């Protein structure tokens, strides 16, 4: 059984570890051990996002992050706290996310703010 990679809503397909796009983080034993599949709630969230807030790099390389985001999506404070923790790295021993993932996370945060303004919450 191979790993599963996000290839667009709502399909997941097995992808060998060597079938990674150039510039993405290499699989290390620690990364492979942490690899998760997208949960149903994360897949539903991705499917509901508009195209400009799509998250292909995050879904492909950091599905555990999308799983955490989907868990707190409906809780404004928890979502804000999680996003701040993801986007503002205060741990010097961490490498951080690739630029493409940071852009996706930032766009998701902006999308969530637009939704809040529309609903008046």
Mean pLDDT (the chain, rounded): 78
Q: Does the global pTM surpass 0.75?
A: no
121 or 83, which is more confident? 83
The pLDDT, as a whole number, for residue 33 is 47
Q: Tell me which residue of 107, 109, 112, 117 sits closest to 51, measured CA to CA.
A: 107
| Rounded CA separation 110/22 (Å) | 28
| Rounded CA separation 84/105 (Å) | 10
The pLDDT, as a whole number, for residue 15 is 43
19 or 27, which is more confident? 27
Q: Given a cut of 90, is residue 93 above it in pLDDT?
A: no
The pLDDT, as a whole number, for residue 23 is 53
Dump pLDDT digits (tens) for 50-91.
877 789 999 999 999 999 999 999 999 999 999 999 998 777
């Amino acid at each position: 059984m191979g790993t599963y990679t996000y290839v667009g809503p709502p399909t997941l397909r097995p992808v060998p570890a060597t079938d990674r796009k150039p510039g993405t983080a290499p699989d290390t034993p620690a990364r492979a051990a942490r690899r998760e599949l997208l949960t149903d709630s994360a897949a539903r969230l991705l499917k509901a996002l508009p195209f400009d807030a799509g998250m292909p790099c995050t879904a492909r390389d950091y599905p555990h992050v999308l799983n955490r985001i989907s868990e707190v999506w409906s809780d404004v404070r928890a979502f804000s706290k999680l996003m701040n923790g993801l986007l503002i790295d205060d741990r010097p021993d961490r490498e951080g996310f690739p630029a493409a993932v940071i852009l996706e996370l930032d766009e998701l945060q902006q999308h969530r703010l637009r939704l809040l303004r529309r609903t008046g919450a």
